[in-house]
Structure 1
């Protein structure tokens, strides 16, 4: 590494040394998540949850990121990333980090097992069950599991079987009693059929693993044979299989084909149980077509740690975070009035989820729109939603009620393709106008657009958010949204939906919204340059971004330039971050923090001091090349002073978090803050939401009392 203490004019911002690797910084984020599981201040079952989250994240990392890198290697790609690495170098470095994280997971797993046992929650092996427990377990196996098993032999007459993605499999070696010849067999553990991974034994909280119960009843499966050995393994397959469609009406078939292809995609990881025979390990690697030295991971503990979500969901209030029931937004609480009347009266409402209820705000907005006879049209983007959400039923009801309903469904939302195909087909059957966005671009924006005939003519109402229209994640993700009837935003959304439903954009003009791919990146770069130009002693420049990822090189370089010009740059970046803060002369005016707590950070905020004429924006876009250049995103300004004040308070709380915030160092590592204030920002946001509601209710009661007094003639008008 070159000497970093050089004159600011000597920095070459094209040099790879100033940019961190996207994949490696994302893995660093998972270290921070894992730390929440390692932290004794975190309630016990929440610690188990964080262990499961890391397991789930790593599964997705191999399917998406390692899978994509392996495709590049297979295609002979040798070009370097912004940070100067080839695809093969990234794979090697990432796998080294993953192995270290895996070791920490295993250590934590052992610790948590001991702590859980101390609370009467035991996950034990079959061998440690007492006689009565074994009888109960064996009876459960005979009644519920044995009929589902399909052992498959592996010999010249029975070729090596297909191993599905993320399935648990037992490699069983058998032989006859007086014969040394052994037989190889595979048994797929039939998960996803209503049998939990951890099977409860007895009336308390004693659990045995699904595969452990099978392994100890193999003499029933292979009668007359001796069981030489039994070891668990699991494969992870590449999820990057989609093809490109030239026409939107071909996209549905293309996605369906890609989903089928994914089932048979290249294997990118093999996990094996510790103690597996080395010969069998080598055989599996050879049959699966992977590099035994690079792609095989030996797991000392439970394979598929994502299944610990089951244990984390045990109903023990004393071992969880205090229960959080989202509060109604104070503007919408206890209101029997039409929601459109409320929005029209106040202009705009800022929503903070999960602190404020998704159901009584966003879902209420759509629900009332579907029923209100004055609503003429509803248009929305749909990236992800959930089966228990009101979103689809509301859209169906709106169509039934004769409203014009148009939905842009993103079929290429990773791992939600099947669900989105089902929603799209169901909506089309009900007469909803369904499109799949613009060819070559993912539609990632979060927008509901409603046209209503008000007393004074047509008026446009909207919700623009940072999170998906998904009732489940709305309880777990920290997101922002705005309900508004701003007429100019309404005009912009008319343009946006015309673009999404036609694919044509040459002359579209936006007055307030900053959509991508045509506008947003250009505007962000111009606003950063403007901040540099306006920076001075009397009006010091300041830029504050809150985003999930900072990956785009151009924006990163622009922020470096702002720092070199003296502008203070404050960044809250959840996971991947290319920028290196704190380098003298280059980024000494930049600080980067990451917040990890009980909710997943997901909101995006963009702030510019702008010489005192402050600007705030929220929306769906992260600062990634794909979001800025290859997706349809929507960023909206927040203009009402009272809403800006709420965003200022939100940012200040996070930047000053002393419990859940981590400070990024110039080499890409992080140090957790450990201040005296041990209440994290998520808990503070809960308290703030409660206070906003209680203050509004108290004010409402005072007004009501005054009205009653007036009516009784106790006070004069």
Structure 2
């Protein structure tokens, strides 16, 4: 097998599998609560599904097209890469299931619950499971014929299916039984103190004689398909023709459900799986899956069912979950807009509440001077409060422009519904730019005050989604700085106009291309100043570092000794140990209770620090093929706050795993720093107490909250006048007494 550690770069996909192993490691870490450990196993399973939906198809397409070219980063051919992926993923799966069985034994020992295979249940429990099959499950089952004489049945992506070979009336046949997706996979068999569970597919497999009473069961196989969900669209998006664009997306979604099979997972039975199985051979022939896409899984398929245990037991066993905390709410005594009139605001989800953005929108709607709200929409929550507020704004006569990205992967159908909802409410909906996803996260509020439009901006690193804002760590900048307002006005005009050229900005920058240029140019500036003064360093925090030009700029700077502190949650193609003896690069991946999602790019030298937040990862697709936004942090207060955040991340060696020269990640045996996530959680109450109190100004007296403050001010004024009058009377009395004496 070719050495995958030679060359200048690591392969993106192999590096990503190491990230998924770090997630599995969290499940194996005894310091994490038990239910959270089950969740990490489920997360790793969900991650891998998307990997085979999206990443594997592109590699297989290269093989199908006869492209035997060498990957410029890893030096591997597509065929070699598939072999390496299969080998590394098998190691992950082995570790994942070893951890699963260890955790299940702990739950059983603690008398919380027991998950058993059907044949491990007592006769009493088996009878209960059989009754469930007869009375609850059997009516939901569909039986499909699977042979060459019939059209290939539609096996949905991710569906668990039981394949059965039957002997009946001297003939053999094969049937498929999809496990009903609407039913819980956990079948509860509750008796006495402890809950007993078995899995839905196990109950079906052990009751096949009731489905086929006149046949003999020769062989069964439980499997699961993963399909290519990265199929090409048959027409370009982005011309803002609503009917045509929506029709294109609907055709695309239908085609995606018929994508090629990229993986088959086979569940091991009580005996070692027999690769000579007749139905296995037929399954491979019918699905055309590659050998590198076949996995013999040592346990239940699709571990996302483990999420259900948290729902069942998290309230009763709070000690088995991470301790709860309350995100900080806006604590200023006045309007958020009044605060922004005086200084910028930087907040970080989930330590700060998403309600602060909702407050931002609410104030815009209630302000009589608001003339327009413009916002990008990538992923929003079900029953989104953001969408509800945009609709309310349109109903009040405010011009609402929503740039909805229909190509947000796996959210396409939801976004189609959002488009209809917004258009029905009178909002103006746009679909972004041709050939490029709009991945930026920004909102612009325009007001009609004075000679030129003014307003407020929000620029973030994460989606406008109140659900994920409670789980993803993201930075958010709010400002009334006219430079941001002008730049975002240009940015939205570019998105709303089909043939507009990318504008030039005063302070922000945007991809395609310009964010990459900004990062590289700033690295080069730091390098120049470092050579001249010996001072300078670079801090980068991103979800992935795969862009070759950015990595080469880091290499060039590292060769002269520029220090780099880089935090990359997922795939990292940068390799350590190739820049010479002056190299000073520290790379870690923070994977913990919360999902690190913010992007920070900071450049330090003897000149003023350059601090940026961005929606863009340091990946070629984000640099060249998407509309992304990056904003400099300009205000002194918010700069200091971001510097503090950077310092905490730089010190984190608790949640951080560190890249070594061999391309592996390791944890420090004795951490010398602290957990950034836990520190931010602990600081929530302190930040609420320290938040500056900004009194409201007269221009916002229309809100109920401001009116009450105005009444309070009037009461305080009356009180002050009474006190002054009493003091005056006392002075007069004292003067009279002195005269009498």
TM-score in terms of structure 2 length: 0.88
Q: Tell me, in whole angstroms, the C-alpha distance in 2 between the residues paired with 1:86 and 1:45.
A: 41
The Cα of 1:458 is off from its aligned counterpart by 3.7
After superposition, give the CA deviation of every residue in 1:148-174 in whole Å (9 maximum; x if it has no partner).
111123346544422111101001233
Aligned to 2:185: 197
- In 1, the alpha carbon distance for the partners of 2:626 and 2:649 equals 28
CA distance, structure 2, for counterparts of residue 183 and residue 189 of structure 1: 20
How far residue 200 of structure 1 moved from its aligned partner, in angstroms, is 2.1
- Rate the CA distance shift 1:697–1:408 in 2: closer, same or farther, 3 A: closer
Candidates 247, 258, 265, aligned match of 1:264 = 258
C-alpha distance in structure 2 between counterparts of 1:156 and 1:516, whole Å: 50
2:65 maps to which residue?
75
Give the CA deviation at 1:282: 1.5
Q: Per-residue CA shift, 1:356-413, capped at 9, x if unaligned? A: 101x211221233234333211111111111142011111111111110111111111
Kindly indicate whether residue 633 of structure 2 is the aligned counterpart of residue 631 of structure 1. Answer: no
Say whether 1:89 aligns with 2:89: no
Superposition RMSD in Å: 2.6
* 1:541 equivalent among 536, 542, 545: 536
Q: Which residue of 1 aligns with 2:209?
A: 219
Q: Contact 2:161 / 2:222 at 8 angstroms: preserved in 1? A: yes
Q: Which moved more, 1:50-59 or 1:452-461?
A: 452-461
Could you give the per-residue CA deviations for residues 217-267 of structure 1, whole angstroms, max 9, x where no partner exists? 222222233333332100100111122634623433322222111111110
Within-5 A mapping of 1:640-679 = 640-676=635-671
SS at match of 1:85: coil
Contact 2:331 2:693 in 1 (8 A): no
**Higher Rg of the two aligned structures:** 2
SS where residue 612 of structure 1 aligns? coil
Alpha-carbon distance in structure 1 between the residues aligned to 2:360 and 2:694: 24
Matched, 1:338 2:328: no
Paired residues for 1:582-601 under 5 Å: 582-583=577-578, 585=580, 588-601=583-596
Aligned counterpart in structure 2 of residue 45 of structure 1, from 35, 38, 41: 35
Give the Cα–Cα distance (whole angstroms) in 1 for the partners of residues 472 and 172 of structure 2.
52
Q: CA 1:168–1:670 in 2, change beyond 3 Å: closer, same or farther?
A: same
Counterpart Cα distance in 2 of 1:711 and 1:661: 60
SS in 2 for 1:285: helix
Give the equivalent residue in structure 1 for 2:92: 101
TM-fit CA distance, 1:212: 1.1
- Structure 1 residues 414, 200: closer, same or farther in 2, change over 3 A? same
| SS of match in other structure, 2:190 | coil
Alignment partner for residue 348 of structure 2, among 346, 352, 355?
352
- Residue 524 (structure 1) aligned to one of 502, 519, 541: 519
Offset from partner CA, 1:171-227 (integer Å, 9 cap, x none):
123334xx6643321100011x2x211122226532221111212222222223333
Which of these residues, 382, 387, 391, is aligned with residue 392 of structure 1? 387
Change (3 A) 1:284 1:445: same
Question: Is 1:295 aligned with 2:290?
Answer: no
Structure 2 residue corresponding to 1:578, chosen from 573, 581, 589 = 573
2:152 is the counterpart of 1:141 = no
Q: 2: CA distance between counterparts of 1:453 and 1:699? A: 23
| Counterpart Cα distance in 1 of 2:87 and 2:722 | 77
Q: Residues of 1 paired with 2:502 and 2:539: CA distance? A: 31
Residue 206 of structure 1, aligned match among 189, 196, 199: 196
Task: Check the 8 A contact 2:68/2:77 in 1, yes or no.
Answer: yes
| Alpha-carbon distance in structure 2 between the residues aligned to 1:586 and 1:382 | 47
Cα distance between partner residues in 2 of 1:175 and 1:43:
49
Report if the CA contact (8 A) 1:172-1:229 is conserved: yes
Shift of 1:710: 7.0
Q: Does the alignment pair 1:405 with 2:400?
A: yes
**Alignment partner for residue 303 of structure 2, among 287, 302, 305?**
305
CA shift for structure 1 position 711: 8.2
Deviations 1:102-150, CA, capped at 9 Å, x for gaps: 1111111111111121231211122333455344433332333211111
Superposed, 1:480-559 pairs within 5 Å as: 480-506=475-501, 508-536=503-531, 538=533, 540-559=535-554
Distance (Å, rounded) in 2 between the aligned partners of 1:507 and 1:258? 28
C-alpha spacing 1:544/1:668, structure 2 compared with 1 (3 Å):
same
Task: Deviation per CA, 1:613-635: give whole Å up to 9, x if none.
Answer: 11100010111111111111110
**Cα pair distance change 1:521/1:712, threshold 3 Å:** farther
1:283 and 2:282 are equivalent in the alignment:
yes
| Further displaced range: 615-624 or 651-660 | 651-660
Equivalence for 1:116: 107
Contact 2:166-2:173 within 8 A present in 1 as well:
yes
Q: Which runs of 5+ in 2 are unaligned?
A: 696-711, 728-741
Mark the runs of 5 or more structure 1 residues left unpaired by the alignment: 1-14
Q: Could you tell me how far apart the structure 2 residues matched to 1:683 and 1:699 are?
A: 29
Q: Structure 1, residues 548-606: CA drift from partner, whole Å, max 9, x if none?
A: 11111111001111111221111111111111124451772211111110011110001
User: 1-side partners of 2:563 and 2:721: how far apart?
Assistant: 56
Structure 1 residues 349 and 244 mapped into 2: Cα distance closer, same or farther (>3 Å)? Answer: farther
Which stretch has the larger CA shift, 392-401 or 196-205? 196-205
Whether contact under 8 Å (2:23, 2:44) holds in the other structure is yes
SS in 2 for 1:18: coil
Change (3 A) 1:174 1:560: same
TM-score (norm 1): 0.91
Counterpart position of 1:317: 318
Residue-pair matches, total: 687
Q: 1:699 to 1:432 in 2, by over 3 A?
A: closer
